[in-house]
Amino acid sequence: MKRILYSILGLLFVGSWLSCTEKIDTGNLPYSQRLVVEGMISTETDSSYIQLSTTLPYSSVEAYPNVTDASVSVLDSNTQTKIVFTYDPQKKTYRPIAGFKGDTAHRYILSIVKDSITYTASSYLYPMFQVDTNLIQKYVEAQFPFPPAGYTVIYNYFDARPLTRYTLYSYGFNGKKSDYKDSAFSNQVLFNNSATVRNAPASFEIPLLRLDTGDVVYMTFKSIDEQVNRYFAGLFSQTSGAPGPFKVPPANLPTNLSNGALGYFMATDVVRRHKKIVP
């Protein structure tokens, strides 16, 4: 998307007076450190985690400091079971006991105590829609100015869920996240089933991704609730890198965490698919 938008801007401001960018100094505003949470309760076994860190001053080049001394637990409000998360120094995240996985249609409530301050968040674990296990490949000729010729991948799905359900969809290939910078939507897409086909078979093609023979494409579908969807929508628009007039007004991201913590806590049903491109 960034490249497309820059292309348009380039068309606008031709010649020697093209738009340019230059570093400037600005005034300082008061800053205080805040807790940052990245947490997930997943329907995949041993995938749930809570990662805690803190903010840094804007111009800092230090690594984001991990928080290792917090007390973290998650309550399954359907069963009233408290799941304690302990810090795993190897994975640098808080983890529940081995073998834990979340259940769909359950609400999970996160509780973090750090420096005598309690931070909480709540997330509902909605089920995902059905995605065919077989992905379809299709060869596409090059388009000007991009994407180049190659294989595109299509998945078939059936969404019987009620309105409105949200999905965080991401894809990558060859065992890593895509670094295909020309993607119109980066490699993560937020779906809202009020804008897609429901209660009927449908298909979706990965936008602008072109693959070669032998590449393996991976897709991950995560159901998310409305508040988490709002967080990711804000994250994507604030970090899109859209230039000049296409940029959205700056704003701090919404969060489902209390007491001034930043980040998100999500409960999610995860569906994964992959396909190797064959001649």
Partner 1 sequence: MLSSRISRYFLLLLFHCIALTAFSQKKHTLSGSITDAKNGEEIIGATVYIPQLGLGAISNAYGYYSVSLPPGKYNVEFSYVGYDKITREIDFNSDTRLAIELKETHRELKEVTVTADREEQKANVQQNKMSVVKIDIKQVRKIPILLGEVDVIKALQLLPGIQAAGDGNTLSVIRGGNIDHNLVLLDEAVVYNPSHVVGIFSVFNGDAIKDFEIYKGGIPAQYGGRLSSVLDIRMKDGNSKQFETSGGIGLLSSRLNFEGPIKKGKGSFIVSGRRTYFDLFLKFSDKTKNTQAYFYDLNVKANYNISAKDKLFLSGYFGQDRLGLSTLLGFGWNNTTATARWNHLFNSRLFSNTSFIFSNYNYDFDLLISPSLSFRRNNFIRDYSLKSDYNYYISPKSTLKFGVSFTHHTFQPGRRIALNDLSNNLEASLQEKRALEQNYYINHTLKPSSFITLDYGIRYSIFSSLGGIREYQYQNNQTTYMRDGVVMPGIVTSTREIASGLYNTYQGFEPRLNITFLLNSESSIKASYNKTYQYLHLIQSTTSSTGQEFWIPSDRYIKPQIGEQYAMGYFRNFMNNKIEASVEVYQKTMQNTPEIIDNANLDFTDNIESQIKLGQGRAMGIEFFIRKQSGRTTGWIGYTLAKSERKADGINNNEWYAYRFDRRHYLTAVISHELTENLSISGNFIYATGNAYTGAIGQYESGGKTVTLYGARNSLRVPDYHRMDVSLIWKREPAKIYTSGYRKYIKESNWVFSIYNVYGRKNVYSIDYMNDTNNVPSVFKTYLFTFVPSVTYNFKF
- DSSP for 109-120? EEEEEETTEEEE
25 to each of 100, 126, 247, how far by Cα in Å? Answer: 49, 46, 21
**Contact call for residue 253 and partner 1 (CB under 8 A):** yes
Q: Nearest CA to 268 among 83, 106, 126, 169?
A: 126
Contacts with partner 1 in 188-227 (CB under 8 A)?
A: 195, 197, 202-205, 207-208
**Contact call for residue 127 and partner 1 (CB under 8 A):** no
- β-sheet bridge partners, residue 82: 75
Please report, to the nearest 10 degrees, the dihedral formed by the alpha carbons of residues 181, 185, 189, 195 taken in order: -160
**Contact call for residue 243 and partner 1 (CB under 8 A):** yes
Find the part of the chain contacting partner 1 (CB under 8 A) among 48-56, 77-85, 101-109, 126-134.
48-56
Nearer to partner 1, 13 or 82 (CB): 13
DSSP-derived secondary structure letter, 66: B
Find the part of the chain contacting partner 1 (CB under 8 A) among 69-77, 136-144, 211-219, 271-279.
136-144
Contacts with partner 1 in 5-24 (CB under 8 A)?
A: 7-8, 11-17, 19-24
Exposure of 35 by Cβ count < 10 A (0-12 exposed, 13-18 middle, 19+ buried)? buried
Q: In angstroms, give the least distance from the CB of 261 to partner 1.
A: 10
Cα 199 from Cα 206, distance rounded (Å): 21
Which of 85, 129, 169, 264 contacts partner 1 by CB under 8 A? 264
**Contact call for residue 60 and partner 1 (CB under 8 A):** yes
Q: In angstroms, give the least distance from the CB of 82 to partner 1.
A: 24
**Contact call for residue 57 and partner 1 (CB under 8 A):** yes
